[in-house]
Amino acid sequence: MVQSDQTITSDIDIVAIEYFFDEPPGFGNGTALSFSPYSQVFLNETIDVSYLTPGLHRIYVRALDESGQWGIVQSRPVLINTVDESLPDLVKMEYFFNIDPGQGLGTNIFFTPDSYVHIKTNLPINHLSEGEHRIYVRAQDENNAWSSAQYSNFSIIDSPPIIVNAIQDIIVFNNAKNQTIDLRQVFKNPDDIHAQIHFSIDENTHPELVFSSINESILTLSYPSDQTGEALIVILAESDGTQISCSFTVKVNAVDMNFFATNALTGNIIPHSHSVNAPFVARFHITGEIIRIAESYQWDIDNNGHIDRQTYDNEMTYTFKNEGVYTTKVTAIMPDGSTFHQSISFSVLPSNTVLDYIRFVPWYPSSDDIASEIMTSGKAVRCYQTFDRDENPIQNKKLYYQFNTTESIFVAEIDNNGFVYIETPETYENKNYDIIVTSKTGDAHGIQSQDSPSFHIHVKDREVLEEYTLLMGMGGSISATAGGRLGPIQLKLASLGFYGGKNISSTMEIHTIGEKTDLFIENSFGTELKADLSIPIFENAWKAPIKPEISIDTGMKVKSNTH
């Protein structure tokens, strides 16, 4: 089979085309080819040559126009070879450009040996100069026979540089650090990656705002003034007489950075130099144009030069547990390494609530091993002295707590000497109570409570009286009965002052004798008082420091002497 490409033209339409081999059979007796009549005909036909003998032959082609005239016959030689079905394997293939270095001295093309080889590959040409070139390819078979070299012509032209990474528009603040850009990462020569490219600044519309310079391939941008505005910069890249440009804008802004703090629980803004009570949860905020550009933020809570936190967010929450004056500084870090900072200050006052640490020491009763005895539905009241981590009495704070038996939150006041009175819920049966110190909302997390109260309540049947309230005043004789409220000051020991497991008589005499403020309490049942009385209690009662003296006989006497 042979394939023939033929183009036949005429001033008038061609209506027939025929071909024949070797000897003319006469006009119109060749093998006709099918086509549509036209003045110009292009045919690409596959022609059967299987009936031809091996050797050299010639194919003839002629056309007939619509006027009945035959054109001049065209011919081409055709060589018919017999196919050897046992072709040797090709074992080597090489190529070279322009000049033959000799058989076996070209550049090898790697492949798997076979009798038929089809290869598609890329060949480097960066070492060739601009202009016309010729590539040759030849192969060697397993019998060491080389084929003739086949060739193809091609041209190398110099392409201009291309932009592979365009410079993006830049936004900076007016005191930004110098910036550098490697222009070799922006432009490339598509013909030769190692080719030299010359760079220059083709345009800078605002040089006093943005100073630009190029040293070899490094573009440097600097900001010499406090001006704001925008500059257009055009970079020109040239290579072998060809060029391309890349433009970008640089916008210089004034620093737009706002820094403030809010109460994390309420969202209210904390004014500068304002006072808050510990523990205080503050949420710091940064707003303004800077948050669109800054990469990260460093937070110095107490402005001591130590970075307490680093975030990528423009907000940060911190809990102030200790009193003091705090100046919190935030530093915004820009992509170019430049920094901007602002500070705010406020005072943290001591907490009016126990939220950190508390240690309990039983005062009345003197040990948690001693049970409280109450009437049915009564409440037990127990007194403790409290201390902080430094073993100083905790003063004038609220103590929030829960019992292990209920989720209700109770509150008690710690006085200026560290004494606190723990009151139980109404109790109807014998029960153990454990104290859990919490926040106002019932959160016990983060509060360390040492020697927390843990005691037993013994419930007795109602017999005579559930509770006494003792009232004392200056001078005169005062009597107290159940629920009585005589005199201006209530003794804090009202519910626990008489302890010992015995009921108290419904009649009781309380005397204050003269101006010496001697106190006499007589109880016909002989109730025993098994603890010392707290000096602060009597200070509050008489508004004078006194030290009580206790004696026990058939009744009970308490004598207090003024200091």
Within this chain, do residues 397 and 440 fall inside the same structural domain, yes or no? yes
85 domain-assigned: no
Q: Is the pLDDT of residue 7 over 70?
A: no
Within this chain, do residues 150 and 169 fall inside the same structural domain, yes or no? no
Count structural domains, the chain. Answer: 6
The pLDDT assigned to 9 comes to 55
Asked if 457 contacts 435 with a C-beta cutoff of 8 angstroms, the reply is no
- Ranges of beta strands (E only) in 98-163 are 107-108, 131-141, 150-156, 162-163
Within this chain, do residues 449 and 397 fall inside the same structural domain, yes or no? yes
Within this chain, do residues 151 and 127 fall inside the same structural domain, yes or no? yes
294 domain-assigned: yes
465 domain-assigned: no
297 domain-assigned: yes
| Contacting residues for 422 by C-beta, under 8 A, at least 6 apart | 381, 382, 383, 384, 401, 412, 435, 453
Q: Where does the pLDDT of residue 5 fall: very low under 50, low under 70, confident under 90, or very high at 90 and above? A: low
pLDDT tens digit sequence for 348-377: 887 778 878 999 999 888 899 998 877 777
Q: Is the pLDDT of residue 117 over 90?
A: no
Within this chain, do residues 249 and 264 fall inside the same structural domain, yes or no? no
pLDDT tens digit sequence for 55-90: 899 999 999 999 999 999 999 999 988 766 678 889
Q: What is the CATH number of the domain that holds 42?
A: 2.60.40
Please state, for a pLDDT cut of 90, what percent of the chain lies above it: 41
Of 460, 487, 521, which closes a domain? 460
Within this chain, do residues 442 and 508 fall inside the same structural domain, yes or no? no
**Quick one: average pLDDT of 100-114?**
93
Within this chain, do residues 368 and 455 fall inside the same structural domain, yes or no? yes
The pLDDT assigned to 355 comes to 76
Please state, for a pLDDT cut of 70, what percent of the chain lies above it: 79
Which range is least confidently modeled, 70-74, 395-399, 448-452, 458-462? Answer: 458-462
**Quick one: average pLDDT of 290-313?**
92
Q: Is the pLDDT of residue 443 over 50?
A: yes
466 domain-assigned: no
Q: Strand 381-387 vs strand 357-364: parallel, antiparallel, or unpaired?
A: antiparallel
Which tops the pLDDT comparison, 481 or 25?
A: 25
Of 22, 47, 80, which closes a domain? 80
Domain assignment of residue 499, given as a range: 471-562
Q: Residue 70 and residue 32: Cα distance in Å, rounded?
A: 13
Q: Is the pLDDT of residue 498 over 80?
A: no
Please write down the HEC assignment for all residues of 302-368. Answer: CCCCCCCEEECCCEEEEEECCCEEEEEEEEEECCCCCEEEEEEEEEEECCCECCCEEEEEEEECCCC
What does the mean pLDDT of the chain come to?
79
**Quick one: average pLDDT of 3-12?**
59
Of 303, 325, 349, which closes a domain? 349
Q: Residue 372 and residue 357: Cα distance in Å, rounded?
A: 26
Q: What is the CATH number of the domain that holds 281?
A: 2.60.40.10
Host H or E run for residue 542: helix 535-542
Q: What is the CATH number of the domain that holds 248?
A: 2.60.40.60
Within this chain, do residues 340 and 384 fall inside the same structural domain, yes or no? no
| Contacting residues for 530 by C-beta, under 8 A, at least 6 apart | 365, 366, 370, 499, 500
Within this chain, do residues 407 and 335 fall inside the same structural domain, yes or no? no
Q: What single DSSP character describes residue 393?
A: B
Which range is least confidently modeled, 11-15, 115-119, 341-345, 520-524? Answer: 520-524
Q: Is the pLDDT of residue 481 over 60?
A: no
Q: Is the pLDDT of residue 41 over 60?
A: yes
Rg (CA), the chain: 54
The pLDDT assigned to 466 comes to 31
Within this chain, do residues 26 and 103 fall inside the same structural domain, yes or no? no
Within this chain, do residues 402 and 419 fall inside the same structural domain, yes or no? yes
pLDDT tens digit sequence for 228-239: 899 999 999 998
Within this chain, do residues 505 and 549 fall inside the same structural domain, yes or no? yes
**Quick one: average pLDDT of 262-271?**
89
